[in-house]
Each structure stands twice: as structure tokens, then as C-alpha cells.
Amino acid sequence: MQTNALTDMNPDFLGEARRQAEICNACRYCEGYCSVFPALHADRAFSDGDITQLANLCHNCRGCYYACQYTAPHEFELNLPAALAEVRRDSWESFAWPQPVARRFHTSGGMIALALVIGFALILFALRALGSAGGEGFYAAMSHNAMVAIFAPAFILPLVSLAISLRRYWHSVGGTTLKLADITGAFGRAAKMQDLAAGHGEGCNFEDEDRFSQSRRHVHQMVMYGFLLCFAATSSATVMHYVFGLHAPYAFFSLPKLLGLIGGLLHTIGCVWMVALKLKSDRHLGDVQAWGGEIGFIALLGFVGFSGLMLYALGQTALMPAMLAIHLGAVLTFFLLTPFTKMAHGFYRLTALIRDAQRKRLQG
């Protein structure tokens, strides 16, 4: 029986992706191209859950499209990367909680993100009077307690939303009881961005049909590890504050500063590079309706890193309070929108990789 989340999905997207998957399954020319095709060829017929799982396994490398003999002007008109991209976005919107927020962001993401960053920044700048209390550094503009009161719920609520969404996804794609090997194998693939190297390890055709490139893999690694370093910087500062009683501001060679600086540079440069790759690529081989939302998300993520670096540079000047409000506004927007932007794709893709590892184990 299908879950309510699957019945919320667009039947036209699922039907078109199923049609193309059945043709690909009969042809099998692209077997070995990427992680999708071994999973695709494991079945003869595809339920809505199967198609949803295949869509979230797909990394949109586009190699299958450029190699395919059945693309337009052939009567089959295959464009599997675009068909799976539409299902993928529709699955995030259908499984999301609360659902209406996700559907709105993927079509108007850039304007929503910009409006929220400006709105939150103005509010935080106005609230700076609540928290001075004679603190040093950033705490001279807003107290530590005020920051915790604002950002703790903003961090926890998206995690709850994602947990509900991923639970819906897991049951919809037939996930069962996990083994530790399923999880470790999926994390290993994700850590190496293995599937962005495509089936033969040569890379994607994402930005140029005539050339394989590892650029997309490397830029995703920069963004992911840059973000993780920034998160590690915040986590280390939290431990230093509450466990060791070492309060900010911290010296340049402290763990929070070094991790944050390196991480901020990596993920800011990575986001700029990612936008450049997307602008060079053929948007009709992805989800055209979500293109603006994807660019908006990348811009927001990059601005979080850039504003953090600017805050570090302006930390000893009169511009610091305004820059702090802008940076915190961007961070708050990013956290609250995480379950409803393309940031969610990382969580869904990891879950899809875990489900694929489970499939391989069970089919033995």
C-alpha cells in the first residue's frame, strides 16, 4: 500500500519517469554509468516508491543523456536526468513537513531567502540593545544568552522537520530494519562523493557534454567539508564556553577561529564555483522549475560563509554590530529553510544511499 506522502506526489512526473526508466531498463546501454543504473536494472517493473528512490540516487551527472540514442528528435524523447530531477524535487516537497513551505521555496527561493535575510537582520540589529551587558567582541553587540535563545530553536526545529520527512521517505521507498554496514557504506560513498565521479570514475558531463570533468565533484567536496568545518568551529566554541569556561572572543590560533576561517573560505569559494558550473550547464537537463530556487539556495549558503568572513575582518571596527546582524540573519534564514531548500537533498541522498546499500545486501 502506498503512503500518503507518495499519493501527494505528481502522477505525471512519476509516470514520465517510469516510462523512461522502462525503456532504459530494456536498452541497458548505460549499465555501469552511475549508481542509478545498477539499481534500475535490478527490477523489471517500477512502483512509485522505486521511481522515487531512483530519483534520489541520481546525481544528475548527465552522462546517460549524452550517450543515449533515444533522445530527441527520436520518438522516445528520453531525458532521464530531467525526468528524475522533477521527481526528486517533487519528493522533497511531498515528504516535507510542513509541506506548503517546501513547495513555495522551490519556485521562489531567491526572493524568499533575500527577504528573510533582510528581515531577520533588521530585527536582530534592533534587538542589539537587549544584550550588550558589557560583553567583549560580538557579545558587546548581542549577549551570549540572547544568541542561544534565538538560535537553539532555529537549529532544533529543522532537525525535527527533517526527521519526519526522512521517515516518510524511508517507508515510501521500502526501507526496512538497518544494519550498521548499510550506514557505514553509504557514509563512505558520500564522504568521497563517489557517485559524482560517475560509473568509470572519469567525472561528470555536467557543464560540457564533450568533456568528462571532476569539477562538480570537487566543488561539492569544498562546500560540504567547508560547511562541516564551520559547524565544527561553532561546536568547539560551545564546548570551550560551557565545559572549559573559555569565553569568546578567541585568539586567531584557537580552534574555533582556525576551523571557521578555513571552512568559511572553502565553502564560500565552493559556492561561487558551483554557481559558475550551473550557469555553464544546460538547465533543460535538470528541473527547470526549480532552477531559480537552486541558485537562491547556493547564493544563501555562499553568503553565510562570506558574511562570516566579513564579520571576522570587521570585528574590531564600528561596522561590526551591523555586520553581525546581517551574518546572523543569514544563518537564521539558512537554518529555518534547510528542510525546504535544496539543502535537504544531502539528507535525502544519504538516505537513498543507505537504502541502496540495504538493497544490495538483501539481494546478495
Phi-psi region of 221 (alpha: psi -120 to 50; beta: other; left: phi over 0): alpha
Residue 226: phi, psi to the nearest 5? -65, -45
Amino acid letter for position 90: D
CA 273 to chain centre: 16
Q: Does the pLDDT of residue 131 top 60, yes or no?
A: no
Which residue do the cell numbers 532555529 mark?
A: 154
> What value does the mean pLDDT take over residues 287-304?
90
Q: What is the DSSP letter of 98?
A: S
Q: Does the pLDDT of residue 181 top 80, yes or no?
A: yes
Of 22-31, 175-184, 200-209, 348-357, the poorest mean pLDDT is in 200-209
Of 107-121, 142-156, 335-349, the poorest mean pLDDT is in 107-121
User: Using CA atoms, how far apart are residues 201 and 28, in angstroms rounded to an integer?
Assistant: 19
Per-domain residue ranges for the chain? 4-93, 97-363
pLDDT at 121: 87
pLDDT at 109: 65
What angle, 0 to 180 degrees and rounded to 10, lies between the N-to-C axes of helices 180-191 and 344-363?
Answer: 130
Mean pLDDT score across all residues of the chain: 88
Residue 73: phi, psi to the nearest 5? -90, 15
Q: Does the pLDDT of residue 169 top 70, yes or no?
A: yes
For residues 72 and 29, the answer to whether their CB atoms sit within 8 Å is no
User: Using CA atoms, how far apart are residues 361 and 214, in angstroms rounded to an integer?
Assistant: 29
pLDDT at 290: 86
Q: How far is CA 207 from CA 58, 131, 203, 269, 275, in A?
A: 16, 48, 11, 18, 11
Please write the tens of the pLDDT for every residue from 218-265: 999 999 999 999 999 999 999 998 999 998 888 889 999 999 999 999
The full DSSP string for 243-303 is TS--PSS--TTSHHHHHHHHHHHHHHHHHHHHHHHHHHS-GGGS-GGGHHHHHHHHHHHHH
- Percent of the chain with pLDDT strictly greater than 90: 56
> What value does the mean pLDDT take over residues 18-31?
92
What angle, 0 to 180 degrees and rounded to 10, lies between the N-to-C axes of helices 11-27 and 80-95?
Answer: 140
